[in-house]
Chains A and B, each alone.
Chain A
């Protein structure tokens, strides 16, 4: 089983729609969680960190469910500019330090 799993998509949604992505992680010792955004042929960039209590940044809401070992990203009122691949990232402590594991990403296409 992969350490971090995401549905690759693509999710094709109309502009203005609400869309949600889930990501599951296998290691219960995972400590911190992030969503990164990657545009086509560009580098990943941090979208938001995911806190235990859930957090919101404008149209974006991230939530963590430790019991079920998944994190989610909700995008409201989708814009054409939201079209990108969203990477789930999980950090856990290991003997050699912290290990960041990236999911393979979920592709979102927002259409007119």
Chain B
């Protein structure tokens, strides 16, 4: 099993550009999450999904959109990137909202 994978691993964008980050999991987990991690801030939840076709806002959702068309995939979109979105983005999945979360390797995004 590959677990949780993320694409791409690194990306540099210019302000105003758009991009989509892809997360895939092969553990048949219902719950999936997108976090960002910034120095001194800890992991902050952007959006999450409790099942195929569902999405919900987390702590810091502004400037991001998500979609969960298939159970195994969770996409995070940035419509118009801003320098404040420079961060490391982690995707995670779990069987339920109170069980262990399994994380992907992360995507390092720089917005110039």
Contact = CB atoms under 8 A, between A and B. Distances in A.
Most buried by B among A42, A44, A46, A87: A44
B26 to A, nearest CB: 16
B108 to A, nearest CB: 8
A97 B90 contact: no
Nearest to A32: B98
Most buried by A among B35, B43, B104: B43
B65 interface: no
A44 B97 contact: no
A45 B103 contact: yes
A98 B105 contact: no
Contacts of A8: 40
A81 B43 CA distance: 23
Contacts, number: 40
Q: Chain B's interface: helix, strand, loop or mixed, by majority?
A: loop
Interface in B1-46: 35, 40-43, 45
Contacts of B97: 91, 97-98, 100
Contact of A44 (B50, B56, B90, B98): B90
Interface size class of A (residues with CB under 8 A): 20 to 34
Nearest to B6: A43
Given A96-B56, A97-B50, A46 B43 contact: no
Contacts of A31: 98
B92 to A, nearest CB: 8
Contacts of A4: 42
Contacts of B42: 4, 87, 102-105
Interface string A55-74: 00000000000000000000
Interface of B: 35, 40-43, 45, 50, 56, 90, 97-98, 100-101, 103-106
Given A31-B98, A43-B90, A91-B98, 12 more contacts: A8-B40, A42-B106, A43-B106, A44-B43, A44-B103, A45-B103, A46-B100, A46-B101, A49-B100, A98-B98, A103-B42, A104-B40
